[in-house]
Chains A and B, each alone.
Chain A
Amino acid sequence: MKILVGYKRVVDYNVRIQVKPDGTGVVTDGVKLSANPFDDIALEEALRLREKGVAEEVIVVGIGPADLTAHLRNGLAMGANRAIHVLSADAVQPLTAARVFLKLVEKEQPGLVILGKQAIDDDANQTGQMLAALWDRPQATFASKVEIADGKATVTREVDAGLEVIEAELPAVITTDLRLNEPRFIKLPDIMKAKSKPIDTIEFASLGVDAHDQLKTTHYAAPAKRSKGVMVKDAAELVSALKQKGLL
């Protein structure tokens, strides 16, 4: 079985996001970029399934400009067998990304596609569900435990009410939540090894995917700030402050 893994590059989660003063975007020049944390979890899960003998090949997929190659090399260093780089100068919206994945699914015929539940830049939380719909296959979103046996995935999902367990026939799409696993660190020898692993580059335009964006972002703003409050000296003072506000 092949596993396809979405591997998006985003602004590193430790970076303090600054909105440009003219409202045209957020500052990304000179800012550290990293793998989307949920995608690292997706890749880790795929690698563990390969190590268990459930899958033979793990393929990382990225959509982005020419310099995305370095990022995909990290996915190869972490352990993926090969990478697919869909070359696109422009960022793609989730529906377009899902259509791109569908094309790759048709070509590669994976048994499983594992994606992060959301990317920490646009926080859309859509691509996996959209791919599953277009592919007409099961989706198991927000996974915190995955077991594969007898052509089925049994997935524990983190939902608002607790933990939901569902069974999905393969092929299927799984999206990862934080507690699914702890991704491994990349070791230096693996970085060297990754240099010889293949990266297929596919021109976005050659896929025949509709690239028309239905959503336009017209303005970026910093969020409203909460003003700094007051400090109280002890429990009694806190209780009286809350009583004064009518909260207790």
Chain B
Amino acid sequence: MSKILVIAEHLGGKLNPATARAVSAAVAIKPEAIDVLVLSDIAEAIAAEAAKIQGVSRVLTVERPENAHPLAAVLAPQIAKAAAGYSHVLAPSTTFGKDVAPRVAALLGVAQVSDVMSVEGSHTFKRPIYAGNAIITVEADPSHTIVATIRTASWPAATGGSGTNSASVETLSLDVALPSHTRFIELKQGKSDRPDLQSANKVVSGGRGVGSKENFEIIYKFADKIGAAVGASRAAVDAGYVPNELQVGQTGKIIAPELYIAIGISGAIQHLTGIKDAGTIVAINKDGEAPIFEIADIGLVGDLFKMIPELETALS
């Protein structure tokens, strides 16, 4: 039987919802136990959140001052040590999981399955390659621990639903020497009261067609009007209209909102990769031939600077 260790992702004392999506994938493996590992300087509040996730058996905490920031070189030896006795170690396929999981795998001397989209069996998974243009079925050797990252857009968050879980929280003490060769300096984070791009139900994204940083205000304003998170294409980020954390696509965030509205985005393949799990895709673009219309559920051809005000009028 499988026994799964899920690595919790957190920031500022809060559990990242991507963790609950990784738990969903763990549940699909049908294991006898799912434990969540919280590595932090102060773990209590994060552990309490993790204990509520449906399907979790135990939450294990490792509190050390070195764990204040998510440095892979510091976290990986602890995770590798904690992995003893587990058949699977899972992390969300976020920049956090992508950074730390392969380091864990190498310490364990095992291969990693990246971006798991579906579970076909305890050791068989589907994952995308070539920016999602092909889907492969991968079989891992059952005689080794499997390290895998979970493509969060493919999995719902394993929430409590009506009845919430209350897994036990236990302190884990690991005798591991930690390196000091890597140090955290700072995190530059845009402050925003808007919904989080990765987990929002609605997302409004702007592309090169928006034209400038100043013009992007129209996107923010419209997103606020419908309570949506704001995203952007790589072209808009490269042009400096918005910061990098808003990038949606193969090399940015891969998201699955119920509603995605792409404004002034032509629809490069790498962008489409990041949104194809969205419920409904709306495209607004002045070029009726833009590739975004090939995958949009609803398309509207027109100048965004005319269409957005009209949309706002139609809404009020």
A219 contacts across to B, CB distance below 8 A: 136-137
Cβ of A132 to closest chain B Cβ, rounded Å: 6
Taking a contact as CB atoms under 8 Å apart, the answer to whether B98 and A141 are in contact is yes
A66, CB-defined interface residue at 8 Å: no
> A residues within 8 A CB of B137?
217-221
Q: Which residues of B contact A230 (CB under 8 A)?
A: 297-299
* Alpha-carbon gap, A210 to B22, bound state (A): 31
Q: Is the CB of B244 within 8 A of A162?
A: yes
Of B126-134, B160-168, B211-219, the segment with at least 4 beta carbons within 8 Å of chain A is B126-134
Greatest chain A CB density within 10 A among B186, B281, B311, B314 is at B314
Please name all residues of chain B whose beta carbon is closer than 8 Å to the beta carbon of A161 when the two chains form the complex: 11, 187, 189, 245
CA separation between A134 and B96, bound complex, in Å? 19
Q: How far is the CA of A95 from the CA of B111 in the complex (A)?
A: 6
Q: A123-B115, A163-B244 are in contact. Are A141 and B138 (CB under 8 A)?
A: no
Main SS of the interface on chain B?
Answer: mixed
Q: How far is the CA of A93 from the CA of B282 in the complex (A)?
A: 39
Once bound together, how far apart are the Cα atoms of A161 and B98, in whole Å? 14
B179: chain A residues within 8 A (beta carbon): 136, 138
List B contacts of A236 (CB < 8 A): 310, 314
Closest residue of A by beta carbon distance from B80: A133
Whether the pair B253, A160 counts as a contact (CB closer than 8 A) is yes
Query: Do the beta carbons of A121 and B187 come within 8 Å of each other?
Result: no
Q: Are B182 and A167 in contact (CB under 8 A)?
A: yes
What A residues does B94 contact at CB under 8 A?
Answer: 160
Q: How far is the CB of A245 from chain B (nearest CB, A)?
A: 6
Known: A132-B103, A229-B299. A162 touches B280 (CB 8 A): no
Q: Does A68 contact B (CB under 8 A)?
A: no
Let me know if B33 is at the binding interface, CB within 8 A.
no
Interface range for B: 35 or more
Q: C-beta contact mask, B132-147 vs A, less than 8 Å → 1, else 0?
A: 1111111111001000
Contact with B along A121-161 (1 / 0, CB 8 A): 11111111111111011111110100000000010011111
Pick the residue among B103, B113, B114, B124 that contacts A139 (CB under 8 A).
B103
Which residues from B are CB-within-8-Å of A159? 95-96, 99, 187, 245
User: A interface, by DSSP: helix, strand, loop or mixed?
Assistant: mixed
B: residues with CB less than 8 A from A are 11, 71-73, 76, 94-96, 98-107, 109-115, 124, 128-141, 144, 179, 181-190, 198, 202, 226, 234, 237-238, 243-245, 251, 253, 258-259, 276, 279-282, 284, 293-302, 307, 310-311, 313-315
Chain A to chain B contacts (Cβ below 8 Å), 9 pairs: A26-B129, A129-B103, A133-B104, A139-B182, A154-B185, A214-B140, A217-B139, A235-B310, A238-B311
Given pairs A125-B98, A234-B302, 15 additional interface contacts (CB within 8 A):
A26-B130, A122-B129, A136-B179, A160-B94, A164-B187, A166-B185, A177-B251, A214-B141, A218-B137, A220-B137, A230-B299, A231-B299, A234-B300, A234-B310, A235-B300
Chain A residues with a Cβ under 8 A of chain B: 11, 16-17, 19, 26, 93-95, 98, 120-134, 136-142, 144, 154, 157-169, 172, 177-179, 213-223, 226, 228-236, 238-242, 245, 247-248
Q: A-B pairs with the 3 shortest C-beta distances?
A: A235-B310, A129-B102, A133-B106
